Homo-oligomer: A and B are copies of this chain.
Amino acid sequence: MPKLGMEPIRRRQLIDATVASIHRHGFAETTVSRICAEAGVSTGIVHHYFDGKDDLLAATMRSLLDDLRSSVAGRLTGVTDARRRIGAIIDGNFAADQFAPQAVAAWLAFWAQVPHSPALARLQRINARRLQSNLRHAFRQILPAATARSAAQGLGALIDGLWLQGALTPGGIGADTARGLASAYVDSLLDEGKPA
Q: Interface residues, chain A, CB within 8 Å of chain B?
A: 25-29, 105, 108-109, 111-117, 124-125, 128, 150, 153-154, 156-162, 164-165, 167-170, 173, 177-178, 180-181, 184-185, 188-189, 191-192
Contacts and interface: CB of A to CB of B under 8 A. Distances in A.
B26 A113 contact: yes
Contact of A184 (B105, B150, B160, B162): B150
A117 to B, nearest CB: 8
B157 A165 contact: yes
Nearest to A161: B161
Contact of A28 (B28, B177, B188): B28
Nearest to A114: B168
8 contacts: A112-B112, A150-B177, A156-B161, A158-B185, A184-B192, A185-B188, A188-B189, A188-B192
A38 to B, nearest CB: 15
Given A25-B116, A159-B161, A153 B167 contact: no
Given A153-B181, A158-B158, A125 B164 contact: no
A115 B168 contact: yes
Contacts of A105: 115
Contacts of A27: 28, 112
A51 B21 CA distance: 23
